[in-house]
Structure 1
Amino acid sequence: MKKQPSLDALNPFMPGAGMRPPELVGRDADIENVDRMVARTKLGNLNQGIIFSGLRGMRKTVLLLALQDASSRQGIVTARLEAKGDIGTDWDMLFHEIALATARVKSLRLRRKLASALASIDSVQFSFLGVGAGVKLSDEERRRTNPFRLELMVESLSRELAKANTGLFLFVDELQEMDDEPLGALISLQHKMGQEGLPFYIIGAGLPNLPGVLSRSRSYAERLFEYRTIGQLPDSDTAEGFQKPARANGRPFADDALDELVKVSHGYPYFIQAYGKAAWNASDSNPTLLEAVRAGEPEARRELDEGLYASRWQRAKTSGREYLTAMAKINGDEPCDSSAVAAEMGKQPKEVSMIRESLIQLGLVYSPEHGKIAYTIPGMGEFILRAAPTMGQTYDGRR
């Protein structure tokens, strides 16, 4: 007799970075928007690129993956990468992933045309750089000519793809991390391809400071993209995120249990997975009752601590942890004045400006407006006040 899988094995909820939930709820408008981009691209009409920004744990990575899959299924050539903030790595990944995307094209005829377009790039003549035609570029020459080679690559590919009534969509996660040089080159390239009427579009995702990063790189970036904020889900979508996969796997939540899950998850997609997983594992009845949800809450908090908070807390230096703790003491999880944080630490704003900047570079905080500072991770303040003292934190307020 075939052994039946355990209830734990049937658990549809799975928290984890970039892991796809069983239901991508609340993002229908974003998916429909990209479907329109695909349709317009096939008709030869121009689009803007799209920039998604939001706190960590909002499943922006999952959304990018879903959008890439949807675009690919409709015949768009897609490439995807995660920016690393290292100039060499970011350049290498751009060239590698775009070239790899062309190799995945199903049409042999089109794939050969794209391969031919790529083959000519390394030997292109950059007379103004002293590189002759037909000469293979050295490593140093490749570094100096990266922006020009990327432009040639994308323009050549886009012209061939336009003839085939398709285009190239580049999906970039953690875009705010990209090194300034390749980032600026990409924005400029998006601008030029729009002027040329060629079907190349960047669809990027990152932290709330991403729009500001793009506009500082190129002032016209605000006109090149449609900016969409990925935030908390409304209660109806949150409830669906719990109930739909639970019901599909044969063990739905009772009404009061579902109400409690909606309440404790605050509409954060990552929280839905953590609390859903814990409640499912704690349940010994069908439907899952309120008692199981409450019994699973400590395990869900542990999952969130390990999956969202602890590693990021440990990434900060002692001075950075002091700054993060001061933020939590002042205003919990809400944004607060930078000057108030300095005062809480017993210092002048100028004395802590470097600490603040280092935390921004680490992606732990961002500035929602001038003079304000906020966590990039929802619930970080609550975690610090609840759990940080057990993790070796020694900061005890003003000194």
Structure 2
Amino acid sequence: MSVELYDPVANPYAPGAGTPPPALVGRDQIIEAAEVALSRLVASRASQHLLITGLRGVGKTVLLGKVAAVAERLGYRVIRVEALGGEDTISSVLRQARRILEEFDGGARVTRALRSIESVSLTLAGTGVSVERQAHPDREALSDVITDVARAAEEAELGVMLALDEAQMLDRSDLRRLLAGVHRCGQDGLPMFTLIAGLPNLIGEVAKAATYAERMFQVWELGPLSPDEVMQAVVDPAAELGVSWDVAAAERIVDLSDGFPFFVQTWAYHTWNAAMDDPISLSDVERAVPNADHALDASFFAARIARIPASEVAYVQALASLGAGPHRSGEVAAAGGKATAEVAAFRDRLIHEGVIYAPRYGWVEFAIPHFDRYVMRVMPPS
């Protein structure tokens, strides 16, 4: 095959933040569980919600989008938000809730839901429905927004899905209010389905926000793809275009990616663009190394480093020096020449920023696969 036939425009691989891959492999069981839960709710049968956790780059956002598409196909209206912390997250929930209500024909349930929205925020634009404004915003009414929107949707014979990405970033009080509303919907048989996704520490955050929360959710922990799944993700999209991979080349992608979907897509994408052999060969993979490494360094890794204040860099360097984790907090402090108490504030901020997480009490680990290797390569401890 000539090099021209590996057209970069036709490249089937899709590295990107939340970009659906051409072959979504290894996640069928979760998608099926979500579809069953969504279908049960519209049939007025109780069902658990979904909580998805995993490191960065394992496909949480892609999966959330896939489930949202399933929900829309089943007649749900979707409120989809990436939690950023602060007021923006809740403002987005309220704006999208209002847009859903604007689809309906009015009535007492719609008016009540609009009043709940106005109780949380007095800054929303007019809705086209006359609603008496409250004297002061009431953040606790956030749970009422969830239940009242679900009641209005029920009257319209529709369901509502609340999809929260990066949910570990949500203020714990707001998370508690949202969960309280969802819980009440379940008690009242209302068609409200929730999917929340985030880093592995999200499970603990949810448990702290509401004592009953662990019973509300099916918990799915996304890990790396198996070697067979990586092979499928690499080989199948090319095969649809009449392109083959040598087994050794595809196996090299397995090794380089460690099964992390974002890395799989990155390596396959750059190998395609560098390919000169037919089938795509091990030499083609090695030819792609400089571009693939640069792409990961410049986007996936560097973006995280850029968010780390100078005061916290030493903690990151100390953790990276210990290799793949998790590691005891005391070990990390000692690696940086500090006492545990001296670095506790840095640790807590890095957890909040989503750079590290605590897999269990007293332990820490990077939330970004291979981040320790990157840190040791570009900014090793002095």
- Corresponding residue pairs, total: 368
Structure 2 equivalent of residue 112 of structure 1: 105
The answer to whether the aligner puts 1:238 opposite 2:238 as a matched pair is no
Partner of 1:273 in structure 2? Answer: 265
2:197 is the counterpart of 1:205: yes
Check 1:123–1:364 CA distance in 2 against 1; reply closer, same or farther (3 A cut): closer
Q: 1:116 to 1:237 in 2, by over 3 A?
A: farther
For each residue in 1:322-373, what CA deviation from the matched residue of structure 2 results, as whole angstroms up to 9, or x when unmatched? 111111112x122111101111111111011011111111110011111111
Q: Is the 8 A contact 1:43 1:165 kept in 2?
A: no
**Counterpart-to-counterpart distance in 2, 1:195 and 1:135:** 28
The equivalent position to 2:250 in structure 1, one of 258, 268, 289, is: 258
Percentage identity across paired residues of the two chains: 31
For 2:201, the aligned partner's letter is N
**Unaligned stretches of 5+ residues in structure 1:** 106-110, 128-133, 390-394
Matched, 1:40 2:33: no
Match among 319, 334, 337 for residue 328 of structure 2: 337
Query: What's 2:316 paired with?
Result: 324
What's the counterpart of residue 291 of structure 1? 283
The answer on whether the counterparts of 1:117 and 1:153 sit within 8 Å (CA) in structure 2 is no
Question: Paired residue for 2:352, among 361, 378, 381?
Answer: 361
Identify if the C-alpha distance between structure 1 residues 282 and 159 changes in structure 2 by more than 3 Å, giving closer, same or farther: same
The partner residue of 1:214 within 206, 211, 232 is 206
Instruction: Give the Cα separation in 2 of the matches to 1:123 and 1:198.
Output: 19
Partner of residue 50, structure 2: 50
Q: In the superposition, relative to structure 1, how do residues 118 and 161 fare at CA in structure 2: closer, same or farther (>3 Å)?
A: closer
Deviations 1:120-140 (A, max 9, x none): 44557x99xxxxxx87325x6
Please, which of 375, 379, 384 is the counterpart of residue 370 of structure 2?
379
8 Å CA contact 1:122–1:137 kept in 2: the answer is no
- How many angstroms apart in 2 are the aligned matches of 1:334 and 1:123? 49
Q: Quote how far apart the aligned CAs of 1:99 are.
A: 2.5
TM-score, length of structure 1 as denominator length: 0.87
Q: Which runs of 5+ in 2 are unaligned?
A: 120-129
User: What is residue 94 of structure 1 aligned with on the other side?
Assistant: 93
* Amino acid in structure 2 at the alignment position of 1:25: V
Give the CA deviation at 1:163: 5.1
Is 1:20 matched up with 2:16? no
Native 8 Å contact 1:323 1:355 kept in 2:
yes
Mapped to 1, the partners of 2:377 and 2:229 lie a distance apart of: 29
- One-letter identity of the residue aligned with 2:379: A
Task: Tell whether the 8 Å contact from 2:113 to 2:149 is kept in structure 1 after alignment.
Answer: no
What RMSD over aligned residues (CA atoms) do the two structures have, in Å? 2.2
Output one character per residue of 1:218-268: Cα deviation in whole Å (capped at 9) or x when no partner.
Answer: 122111111110111111111111111111123221111111111111110
Structure 1 pair 238/192, CA: closer, same or farther in 2 (3 Å)? same
Q: Which residue does 1:131 correspond to in 2?
A: none
